[in-house]
Amino acid sequence: MIINILAGGPEDLLPDLTEYREESAIWIGVDRGVYYLLKRDIKPLIAFGDFDSVSQEELTLIEGHVGELKRYKPEKNETDMELALNWALGQNPSIVRLFGATGGRLDHLFANVQLLYNPLKANKSAAIYLIDRHNTVFLKEPGTYNIKKNLAEKYISFVPLTLNVTNLTLEGFKFPLKNRHISLGSTLCISNELISDYGTFSFSEGILIVIRSND
C-alpha cells in the first residue's frame, strides 16, 4: 500500500503530483493541502487539520468533498502532519510520501524532517519520503544500500541525524569514502554525485539523512 500525504506548504514547491497518482495510492490531505488536492481533482480518503490556513469558502469546498474530516483545535500536542502520519503508519503501508512539507516556516520544516524517524521508532517497515520540487529526503539505519543515478536529482548528500555515524563508505561516487566517521554538524558529505549508474553507501552505527537534490 502506498499513502501520499499532502500538507499546506508553499504550493510553488510541490512536484508534479501526476507522477505519483498510482491507481492503488491513497491520498491524505493536511490542512490547506486538502484544498491543493481538490484543485488537482484528487479526492483524499481522509483529511486532518485545524484548517486555520484556509478561507471560509475553501473550507466549505473541503467539507463538501471529503468524506472523513478530522478537525482539531490549534492548541494540541501534535502537528497536523504528525496526526496524519500516525494514521498512515497505522495502515501498515509499504511507502509513505510527504508533500507540501517544506518551505515557508523553518519550524515546520525541521519538525517534518524529524517525522521521518517515526517509522523507525515504531518498528514499522514503511519507507517514508519527504518530496518537493527540488528534493527527496529519507532516513537510513545501519546497513549497505544501492543507489541509482538520477539526472533529475544529481546531487546526493548524507547528513547525520544522530551524534555520530560510523564507518561510512561511499562507492561509485565522485567523492568516495572508506570507513569514515562523521559527526553531527559535519558538512563533509554535502553535494556528492554518482559517477556510475549505481553506487553504494554503507555504515555501521547511527542514522543518516539522505537528500537527493537538483538546482
pLDDT (tens digit, 9 = 90+) per residue, 92-104?
Answer: 999 999 999 998 8
Q: Are residues 42 and 143 in the same domain?
A: no
Q: Are residues 153 and 104 in the same domain?
A: no
Q: Are residues 39 and 143 in the same domain?
A: no
CA separation for the pair 203, 166 (Å, rounded)? 6
Q: Which residue range is the domain that position 197 belongs to?
A: 139-213
Q: Are residues 45 and 87 in the same domain?
A: yes
Q: How many domains does the chain have?
A: 2
CA separation for the pair 86, 92 (Å, rounded)? 10
Q: Are residues 71 and 156 in the same domain?
A: no
Q: Given the C-alpha cell 484556509, which residue does it identify?
A: 54
- What average pLDDT does the structure give for the chain? 92
C-beta neighbour count of 118 within 10 angstroms? 18
Q: Are residues 121 and 196 in the same domain?
A: no
CA separation for the pair 156, 210 (Å, rounded)? 7
- Written as one letter, the residue type at 208 is L
Q: Are residues 42 and 124 in the same domain?
A: yes
pLDDT (average), residues 4-21: 93
Q: Are residues 145 and 117 in the same domain?
A: no
pLDDT at 73 over 80: no
Cβ atoms 48, 90 nearer than 8 A: no
Name the residue with higher pLDDT: 70 or 96. 96
pLDDT at 75 over 80: no
User: Could you give phi then psi for residue 71, rounded to 5 degrees?
Assistant: -100, 140
- CA 105 to chain centroid, in Å, comes to 16
Last residue of a domain, one of 107, 133, 159: 133
CA separation for the pair 36, 4 (Å, rounded)? 13
Last residue of a domain, one of 103, 133, 163: 133
C-beta neighbour count of 143 within 10 angstroms? 9
Q: Are residues 110 and 167 in the same domain?
A: no
CA separation for the pair 172, 185 (Å, rounded)? 25
Last residue of a domain, one of 133, 162, 190: 133
